[in-house]
């Protein structure tokens, strides 16, 4: 059992995957937040332009 724990402690592959997963989650949160913010502002801008044209 102790050899298994020592081998898992020395290997870095699992840590790399976890770090990439955390980075991907942070990037996705930022992208989704930005798209939602820009999307609502763009919708308001297009609506005001459309009403000004009419």
Helix, strand or coil for residue 24? helix
Among all chains, which residue has been given the structure tokens 């005001």? 48
Helix, strand or coil for residue 13? helix
Mean pLDDT (the chain) is 81
Report field, pTM of the whole predicted structure over 0.85: no
Q: pLDDT value at position 49? A: 86
**pLDDT exceeds cutoff 70 at 3:** yes
Domain ranges of the chain: 28-53
**pLDDT exceeds cutoff 80 at 14:** no
């Amino acid at each position: 059992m102790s050899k298994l724990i020592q081998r898992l402690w020395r290997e870095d592959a699992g840590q790399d995957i976890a770090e990439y997963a955390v980075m991907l989650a942070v990037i996705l949160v930022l992208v989704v937040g930005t798209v939602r913010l820009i999307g609502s502002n763009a919708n308001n801008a297009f609506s005001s332009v459309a009403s000004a044209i009419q």
